[in-house]
Chains A and B, each alone.
Chain A
Amino acid sequence: DSGVTQTPKHLITATGQRVTLRCSPRSGDLSVYWYQQSLDQGLQFLIQYYNGEERAKGNILERFSAQQFPDLHSELNLSSLELGDSALYFCASSLRLAGGNEQFFGPGTRLTVL
């Protein structure tokens, strides 16, 4: 158990809908990363927050957004969902901002868009 929690574990929804994925980092970790894992794209970085502020963006679609709250939990919002958004979404947390620190992954949310 990494100490990172994600809810829900599974999510099934329809095209055009909006969903929210939630992540609670390990106790004391200030940095939260979101990654998408799909068969064709592999594991891809989406976005990073550090102590409530957005710090880095990757291949995140405009339909997707995220935020980190004062209690450090983070939410990833996916809207106008398309079939191709079906994937595993992981969040990871680490203590510090910079690279070289260990990132611990949560169990993921499996999103299925029908």
Chain B
Amino acid sequence: QQQVKQSPQSLIVQKGGISIINCAYENTAFDYFPWYQQFPGKGPALLIAIRPDVSEKKEGRFTISFNKSAKQFSLHIMDSQPGDSATYFCAASMIDQGGKLIFGQGTELSVKP
């Protein structure tokens, strides 16, 4: 019930295309869903986050879509660029657990020029 399942494991997108990464969770007590971007040799960097009372959040080229009934959320990267090539992690947390993040397994995104 604590798991967050992420797909696909890897993704290749052409420059200018849309990258879509999906996550699913079981525990309805999760109430915070962030996405992190990680480059090789670096720590994860927070990209964008959403609460379950909102169905969509957009920041620049990054959009989170949230489907509470399906217990799924996804990251859309519009106009993907080679500089977006990185590993992306979805995560979830619960207020009564102190905010510890439960991470998905990660998606390695490669944007081809």
A99-114, CB < 8 A from B: 99-108
List of A residues within 8 angstroms of B105 by Cβ: 42
Q: Give B105 Cβ to nearest chain A Cβ, in Å.
A: 5
A105 and B43: CB pair below 8 A? yes
Q: Give B87 Cβ to nearest chain A Cβ, in Å.
A: 10
How far, in whole Å, are A99 and B45 apart by their CA atoms in the complex?
A: 17
The total number of A-B Cβ pairs within 8 Å is: 78
Number of residues on chain A facing chain B (CB within 8 A)? 30
| B25 CB within 8 Å of chain A | no
Number of residues on chain B facing chain A (CB within 8 A)? 26
Knowing A98-B95, A102-B34, say if A33 contacts B100 (CB, 8 Å).
yes
How far, in whole Å, are A12 and B51 apart by their CA atoms in the complex?
A: 40
Knowing A43-B103, A94-B99, say if A99 contacts B94 (CB, 8 Å).
yes
B43 and A2: CB pair below 8 A? yes
A56 and B97: CB pair below 8 A? yes
Which chain B residue lies CB-closest to A31? B99
Q: Give B31 Cβ to nearest chain A Cβ, in Å.
A: 6
| A58 CB within 8 Å of chain B | yes
List of A residues within 8 angstroms of B45 by Cβ: 2, 105
Which chain B residue lies CB-closest to A50? B98
B43 and A108: CB pair below 8 A? yes
How far, in whole Å, are A106 and B98 apart by their CA atoms in the complex?
A: 19
6 tightest Cβ-Cβ pairs between the two chains A and B: A105-B43, A99-B99, A56-B98, A99-B93, A43-B103, A45-B100
Additional A-B contact list (12), CB under 8 Å, known A31-B99, A55-B98, A99-B99 = A42-B105, A56-B97, A56-B99, A90-B43, A90-B44, A92-B43, A94-B99, A96-B99, A99-B32, A101-B99, A103-B34, A103-B46
A-B contact pairs, 8 of them (CB 8 A): A33-B101, A35-B101, A56-B100, A98-B98, A98-B99, A99-B94, A99-B99, A100-B93
